[in-house]
Structure 1
Amino acid sequence: MTLNLSRRKFIAAGAALATLGAGRGWAATPIDLHTRVADVQLLPEKYGRTRIWGFEGTAPGPEIRVAQGARVQRRVINDLPDATSTHWHGIRIDNAMDGVAGLTQDAIAPGASFQYDFVAPDAGTYWYHAHNRSFEQVARGLHGALIVEESEPIDIDRDEVLILDDWLVDPETAQIADTFGAMHDLSHAGRLGNYITTNGTYNLALPVKRHERLRL
């Protein structure tokens, strides 16, 4: 049995980003977390590859998964042409680690790095993302899931984390439209894209077993 996760089914789910789940990830996060320019296949195969900015060159970036109360240590190394920072969205955190450029820290210049070190006190589904010119950098792909697992496991067979994105892409070039800074973007409402991906895939199919209990 296959659960088809098509663009049509997800288009009503929201514009910018949603993270759901908490059990296994599709990638392990290195201690050093690079922000990089990369070319990836976001759109259907008939289109070319799309240039993104991503943590470790992927969009979404590697999943970070820790136990409730665990310490999170990540050195973000900026390999982008622009300054950046990383915000740990929803985590109760010391202000110095919150990652808001111009407020809690200086932006990380190209070629520089910043060490984030904090405790994740609450179980839940969170996300991390760029927080310098976030209206552009998040829209280019700088975000990922941060899962804090409960101290008491729940009765399920499998967890799946799904990250939904809509991308504003020129279908002629397969490149992200360079029209950042509209009032809608600046209001933190996100861009209204024309292509939807799930976990960075245009038309994801998630295999499931009969009677399998999933948490999404």
Structure 2
Amino acid sequence: MRPATAIIGGYRPADSGWHRLGVGWKYLLVLVLIVTPLVLQQPWVTAGVLLLTVACLAGTGLPVRLTLALPWSLLVLLVVLAGFQLAIGQPGSAFVVPGNVLQAVLAARLILCTTPASVLVDALVRAADRVPFLDGERFGLAVGIMLRSIPFLTGAFYDVRDAARARGLERHWIARLSPVVVRAVGFAQATGQALAARGLGEGRPASPPRGQIPRPERPGGG
């Protein structure tokens, strides 16, 4: 599994009930699975919802390495969270806090592994169009750019890390960080140019004062 998809996973076609379920129902069920343990903050709730989520992932029919495998970075984060809660004298939270983080990651895989990204973005655009003062197309564009940026930046970090390790520079943070920053800036510039070429991302032209008709510019700027 690529580092970019090691945490949240990636879409895999199949014929399970989760794959056939409507995207709106998927969003709703995943939201319930994530919010319930966050609100109740009880160990038995976190454990129960976590087991239910694992059962749902098993029901997708997808490989275990895609649905349940955890990268070492996430495992380290969970251990640090549990250790911190123990250090401040909260043994109950030592399970609830990292358990809720793990639950959120696994619940996200339920929808991301069973639904194409284009379908997810289209559903968000339709929902955003119903919200006053919110441009659904621009909102969907922002989400699409985010979904494209995360794998790119994550992959850039791992590529630079591997290249630095091959040159014996794995402990030189400047040698590891600088190429990632350069790639990120280049990606942002390329994205901005692509948006500008399509007339997106620019401010709307100011409207003339009421009662005045805008005068067309003469050829040659005169």
**More helix as a share of residues:** 2
**More strand as a share of residues:** 1
Shorter-chain TM band: under 0.3
Q: TM-score, normalised by structure 2?
A: 0.26
Higher-RCO chain (CA-CA 8 Å, sequence separation at least 6)? 1
